[in-house]
Amino acid sequence: QKEVEQNSGPLSVPEGAIASLNCTYSDRGSQSFFWYRQYSGKSPELIMSIYSNGDKEDGRFTAQLNKASQYVSLLIRDSQPSDSATYLCAVSLRAGGFKTIFGAGTRLFVKA
């Protein structure tokens, strides 16, 4: 079983719609959860971090964490063509340091 699983997509949504990206993780001891955005040919960029159960909102982005279900999601409201990228879910464990495991990423296309 992969440690961090994401649907590879592509996920295609029309401009202005809500994009919903999902991630599950296997280690119940995971403490920190992140969403990174990676444009083609560029480096990953942190867009959201979440550390406790519930929702965290930042502008058009909302991260949701459910530790009981081992589930993290990212909602992007009013999706824009510039949101088209690969979204990486990342989970940090504590094993002599903060080891971060990345999912394989979900490709998002926002159609104008």
By CB under 8 A, name the binding residues for another protein. Answer: 32, 34, 38, 42-46, 49, 86, 88, 90, 92, 95-102, 104-105
C-alpha separations of 30 from 14, 49, 88 in Å: 34, 13, 16
Sort strands 98-102 and 4-6 into parallel, antiparallel or unpaired. Answer: unpaired
Distance, CA of 51 to CA of 63 (rounded, Å): 10
Decide whether 14 or 26 has the Cβ nearer to another protein: 26
Decide whether 33 or 62 has the Cβ nearer to another protein: 33
Rg of the chain over CA atoms, in angstroms?
Answer: 14
Nearest distance from C-beta of residue 32 to another protein, angstroms: 5
Nearest distance from C-beta of residue 65 to another protein, angstroms: 15
Residues with Cβ < 8 Å from 41, sequence gap 6 or more? none
